[in-house]
């Protein structure tokens, strides 16, 4: 093997999607209904305009007019309670508070809700008052308002909510992700809010972590594609558009891999691992033009995210090329003292954070940051040049959003919040996310004339269909949810008629209610649909000590299994809870994730065959609570998942998902078998719908190198395409790879491509090629 540092800048490996009939390679895939991941990235990787340099003169002029206190004000972000009184629907602007925050301190940003979602009209009233106060200030600098738009405009009453990001990743359909993000952006901007604290680009590789459902799953490439789709959907082609919002990539970086699995707890990640699995999603989104980044609340390798100048300046700025600004997370500069103990007092913590690269501080409930940074600047401990740098970035983004021209842009747009058309997009996303994990003896779809028992804690509530960041932070307030959306139970009743449905809840999330009643009802039914999983949670309140499903739910399933009636498990959960005690005996298992307000209908559509499921797992579903690993793990001694040796196998593998039809792969070709220099390699495969009904299949291309200077993974996803096929229809499918797809992070923490033999794996087929 030659030196790892050998340059391969001339290599191009080409694998392009083509129809089986004589379409030329590179033909427009849209014409054939194919969603090709790499083509999607190429088409949506152009940053939104207008460019930052269009405002250089205006920003420098304004910066030259600002006092030191005014500059520091722009770096200050306060929560809504600092300018209002009351909570929930009773919230109202307090003019004295507002004047202090915006008029006296010149706060550059305000965020959040106070307790629960508000109607758009109420948001507009609040934003108008805030911007009117800003207009009274000496320099009339608009305030940048930010909010957590996580799965739709979830803090606006009546908005369109989509499946949580993990469910969106399960669609493997970036076009749907793009469309949903466009709708979320337009509805957020309609309220007068131009900044969203999303997407979460943390790699979901720790299944205990309570924010797993906010991620796009464990795979770096899938996360890159869906992350770029979100950024493009939010920011569009013109950030100043009344239907665009600025994205905030979070939580940079390594936040999602805590050693204990607990939120905001330390992670130990070697730098080559950090660069291999955790940085690429951020890099792709920055390249696509994302305008802001939010920082990891915890620490990596003993260095808090808010004190890590290497990651915030050398990597994020110099390597990734971020042009916008960096915002802290909630109170995290204060936590450099109270949690991380790297500063003896808040003043020192403020200096550390700002000098590490924090441009805007989410204080958020007092004026300590402004006061302390002013002292530090006057004492020469934070140079004015660093403050100017941060403020320049903040003012530029405000210009790019069009706030100086119209701080309330979007309020007068034609966007209809929660329109029927938008709900249909959400329903389509929910349907495509649902993943059929088991279907023994074709138990599904169920007959619409059958008598069905519906049971389980998640059967008759919208709360587990949505999870956190849904009208409230924790998403657990039933009164906040719309009354006209169907739970799983109600959707099934609507589908087959209430007389054909018996309902018994059986348990709450973790306590028995009427298991005996549910079992008795099951004995008299044709089949039992048991809706189990999780309730709602967000962030630290979602911490759990282990992944096993609560005993009450397991006992409910076991009792019903004793009746010998077919059992269908419907899992509504934000992370994979262990089901090994019941999975083998259930006849069918459906993973629904958190499919949103339209999820009840989507689940019923799949259960009764009106929709053919096409979701694929974006995570590895573990079989054992203490045997957690991702699909792209390094091969370990004794790994053997053959018949009779299932101890090490996951319950369900990454990328897995069944259909009501079948697909056959054939004729995988790689040519030439050996290449070098600037030669191309083409890989083609035929996929056929070999079943009796139309369906969608996700064609997944995995690549592995047999030998490398750093131990290679078992395989890595490199490309995918979701294709729709009629019964008997075939399609010739290929992809396009670049030299980067053959690369890995070497022992020196630099990306390298090494000569060797590469195996291409698609649909159970395998071919190899050699690069010399």
Instruction: Write the pLDDT tens digit of every residue in 176-235.
Output: 999 999 999 999 999 999 999 999 999 999 999 999 999 999 999 999 999 999 999 999
8 Å CB contact between 737 and 15: yes
Phi-psi group of 192: left, alpha or beta (phi > 0 → left; psi -120 to 50 → alpha; rest → beta):
left
Q: Give the confidence band of 11 by pLDDT, cuts at 50, 70, 90.
A: very low
Distances (CA, A) of 92 to 83, 95, 123, 137, 421: 9, 9, 10, 21, 32
Q: Give the confidence band of 641 by pLDDT, cuts at 50, 70, 90.
A: low
| Tokens representing residue 376 in the block | 């530090």
pLDDT above 70 for 86: yes
Rounded CA gap, 296 and 264, in Å? 8
8 Å CB contact between 360 and 389: no
Q: Which helix (H) or strand (E) holds 347?
A: helix 346-356
Rounded CA gap, 322 and 651, in Å? 40
Rounded CA gap, 111 and 362, in Å? 9
Instruction: Write the pLDDT tens digit of every residue in 414-470.
Output: 999 999 999 999 999 999 999 999 999 999 999 999 999 999 999 999 999 999 999
pLDDT above 70 for 638: no
Rounded CA gap, 171 and 273, in Å? 27
Rounded CA gap, 127 and 140, in Å? 15
Q: Give the confidence band of 27 by pLDDT, cuts at 50, 70, 90.
A: very low
Enumerate the β-bridge partners of residue 293: 249, 326
Across residues 377-400, what is the average pLDDT? 98
pLDDT above 80 for 10: no
Q: Which of 36, 148, 219, 329 is catalytic?
A: 329
Verify cis geometry, omega within 30 degrees of 0, for the bond prior to 672: yes
8 Å CB contact between 749 and 272: yes
At residue 274, what are phi and psi to the nearest 5 degrees? -60, -45
Rounded CA gap, 81 and 365, in Å? 8
Quote the percentage of the chain above a pLDDT of 70.
Answer: 94
- The predicted model scores a pTM of 0.95
Across residues 89-95, what is the average pLDDT? 97
Instruction: Write the pLDDT tens digit of every residue in 507-548.
Output: 999 999 999 999 999 999 999 999 999 999 999 999 999 999
DSSP string over 579-593? -HHHHTT-SEEEE--
3-state secondary structure of 360: strand
Number of H helices, E strands in the chain: 22, 29
pLDDT above 80 for 130: yes
What pLDDT is stored for residue 16 in this prediction? 39
**397 or 675, which is more confident?**
397
Instruction: Write the pLDDT tens digit of every residue in 464-501.
Output: 999 999 999 999 999 999 999 999 999 999 999 999 99
In this structure, the dihedral spanned by the alpha carbons of residues 163, 166, 168 and 169, taken in order and rounded to 10 degrees, is -170
Across residues 291-296, what is the average pLDDT? 98
What residues contact 398, with CB distance under 8 A and at least 6 apart?
Answer: 141, 142, 144, 404
8 Å CB contact between 235 and 227: no
What mean pLDDT is reported for the chain?
94
Within 367-419, where are the H helices? 368-378, 384-400
pLDDT above 50 for 401: yes
What pLDDT is stored for residue 588 in this prediction? 98
DSSP string over 303-322? EEGGG-HIIIIIIIIIIT--
Q: Can you list the positions of beta strands (E) in 418-493? A: 435-439, 452-455
Rounded CA gap, 557 and 455, in Å? 9
8 Å CB contact between 772 and 674: yes
Across residues 250-274, what is the average pLDDT? 97
Active site residue 388: no
**Tokens 């090709």, located at residue:** 36
In this structure, the dihedral spanned by the alpha carbons of residues 453, 457, 460 and 462, taken in order and rounded to 10 degrees, is -150
What pLDDT is stored for residue 189 in this prediction? 98
Residue closest to 282 by CA, chosen among 209, 244, 231: 231
Rounded CA gap, 515 and 507, in Å? 7
Instruction: Write the pLDDT tens digit of every residue in 578-622.
Output: 999 999 999 999 999 999 999 999 999 999 999 999 999 999 999
Q: How many CB atoms lie within 10 A of CB 49?
A: 16
């Amino acid at each position: 093997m030659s030196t790892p540092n050998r340059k391969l800048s001339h290599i191009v490996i080409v694998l392009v999607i083509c129809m089986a009939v004589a379409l030329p390679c590179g033909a427009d895939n849209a014409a054939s209904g194919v969603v090709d991941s790499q083509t999607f990235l190429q088409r949506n990787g152009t940053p939104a305009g207008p460019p930052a340099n269009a405002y250089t003169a205006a920003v420098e002029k304004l910066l030259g007019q600002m006092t030191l206190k005014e500059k520091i004000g722009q770096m200050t972000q306060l929560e809504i309670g600092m300018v209002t009184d009351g909570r929930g629907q009773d919230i109202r602007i307090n003019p004295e508070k507002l004047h202090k925050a915006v008029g006296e301190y010149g706060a550059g940003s305000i965020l959040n809700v106070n307790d629960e979602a508000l109607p758009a009209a109420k948001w507009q009233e609040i934003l108008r008052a805030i911007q009117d106060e800003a207009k009274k200030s000496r320099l009339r600098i608009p305030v940048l308002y930010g909010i957590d738009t996580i799965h739709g405009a979830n803090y606006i009453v009546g908005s369109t909510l989509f499946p949580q990001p993990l469910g969106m990743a399960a669609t493997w359909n970036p076009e749907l992700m793009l469309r949903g993000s466009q709708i979320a952006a337009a509805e957020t901007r309609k309220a007068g809010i131009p900044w969203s604290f999303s997407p979460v680009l943390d790699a979901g590789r720790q299944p205990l972590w309570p924010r797993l459902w906010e991620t796009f799953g464990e795979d770096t490439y899938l996360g890159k594609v869906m992350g770029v789709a979100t950024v493009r959907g939010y920011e569009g082609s013109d950030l100043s558009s009344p239907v665009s919002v600025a994205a905030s990539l979070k939580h940079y970086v390594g936040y999602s891999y805590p050693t204990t699995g607990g939120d905001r707890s330390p992670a130990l990640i070697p730098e080559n691992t950090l660069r291999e699995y955790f940085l690429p999603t951020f890099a792709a989104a920055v390249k696509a033009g994302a305008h802001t980044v939010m920082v990891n609340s915890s620490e990596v390798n003993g260095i808090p995210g808010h004190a890590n100048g290497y990651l915030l300046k050398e990597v994020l700025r110099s390597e990734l090329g971020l042009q916008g600004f960096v915002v802290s997370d909630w109170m995290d500069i204060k936590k450099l003292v109270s949690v991380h103990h790297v500063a003896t007092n808040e003043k020192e913590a403020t200096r550390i954070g700002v000098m590490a690269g924090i441009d805007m501080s989410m204080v958020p409930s007092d004026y300590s940051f402004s006061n302390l940074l002013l002292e530090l600047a006057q004492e020469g401990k934070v140079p004015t040049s660093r403050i100017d740098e941060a403020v320049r970035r903040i003012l530029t983004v405000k210009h790019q959003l069009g706030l100086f021209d119209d701080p309330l842009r979007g309020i007068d747009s034609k966007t209809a919040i929660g329109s029927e058309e938008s709900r249909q997009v959400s329903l389509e996303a929910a349907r495509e996310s649902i993943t059929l994990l088991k279907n023994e003896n074709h138990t599904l779809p169920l007959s619409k004339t059958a008598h069905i028992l519906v049971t389980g804690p998640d059967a008759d509530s919208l709360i587990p269909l949505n999870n956190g960041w849904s009208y409230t932070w924790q998403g657990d307030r039933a009164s906040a949810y719309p009354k006209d959306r169907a739970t799983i139970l109600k959707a099934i009743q609507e589908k087959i008629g209430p007389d054909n449905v018996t309902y018994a809840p059986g348990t709450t999330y973790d306590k028995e209610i009427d298991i005996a009643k549910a079992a008795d009802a099951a004995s008299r039914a044709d089949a039992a649909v048991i809706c189990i999983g999780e309730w709602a949670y967000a962030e630290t309140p979602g911490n759990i000590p282990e992944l096993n499903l609560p005993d009450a739910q397991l006992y409910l399933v076991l009792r019903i299994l004793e009746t010998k009636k077919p059992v269908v498990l419907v899992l509504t959960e934000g992370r994979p809870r262990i089901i090994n005690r019941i999975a083998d005996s259930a006849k069918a298992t459906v993973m629904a994730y958190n499919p949103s307000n339209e999820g009840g209908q989507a689940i019923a559509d799949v259960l009764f065959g009106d929709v053919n499921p096409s979701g694929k797992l974006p995570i590895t579903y573990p079989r054992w609570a203490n045997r957690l690993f991702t699909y792209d793990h390094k091969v370990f001694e004794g790994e053997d998942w053959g018949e009779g040796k299932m101890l090490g196998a996951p319950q369900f593998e990454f990328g897995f998902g069944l259909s009501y039809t079948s697909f056959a792969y054939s004729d995988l070709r790689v040519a030439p078998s050996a290449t070098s220099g600037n030669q191309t390699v083409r890989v083609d495969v035929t996929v056929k719908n070999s079943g009796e009904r139309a369906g969608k299949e996700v064609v997944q291309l995995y690549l592995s190198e047999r030998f490398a200077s750093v131990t290679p993974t078992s395989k890595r996803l490199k490309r995918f395409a979701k294709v729709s096929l009629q019964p008997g229809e075939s399609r010739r499918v290929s992809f396009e790879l670049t030299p980067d797809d053959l690369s890995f992070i070497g022992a020196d923490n630099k990306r390298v491509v090494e000569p060797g033999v590469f195996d291409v794996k698609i649909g159970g087929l395998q071919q190899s090629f050699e690069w010399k």
